[in-house]
Amino acid sequence: MSNYDDDEFDDDDEQFYRETVYNEEYYLEQENEVIRQSNLELELEALEEGTIRELREEGLLRPTLVGLGKQRADNHASSPVDWPDDPDESF
């Protein structure tokens, strides 16, 4: 059994639809928020790239090799710490 009266439930639904589905402004606000977030992410990415470039130009940051991270991850995965207790047990 439900604790909600059917009329109350219908009123809640109607209010939701008025605030969202029937409201064009709701969708415009949502779209503007997505655009704003996207712009912030792009701006942050550009700032990060600019900062990294400046640090490299000043000699404060050494260039890194792309394959080095993968090699380290492979070496870590095969370290004895990750080996099973039972040598007959497969990964």
Q: What is the pLDDT of residues 12-44, one digit of tens each?
A: 888 888 888 888 898 999 999 999 999 999 999
Distances (CA, A) of 11 to 16, 17, 23, 65: 9, 10, 16, 61
Is the pLDDT score of 1 beyond 50? no
Query: What pLDDT does 55 receive?
Result: 92
Distance CA 89, CA 8 (A): 60
DSSP state of 22: T
Q: Provide the whole-model pTM.
A: 0.47
Is the pLDDT score of 3 beyond 60? no
Are the C-beta atoms of residues 34 and 26 closer than 8 Å to each other?
A: no
Q: List, in sequence order, the alpha helices (H) in the chain.
A: 6-19, 24-57, 66-77
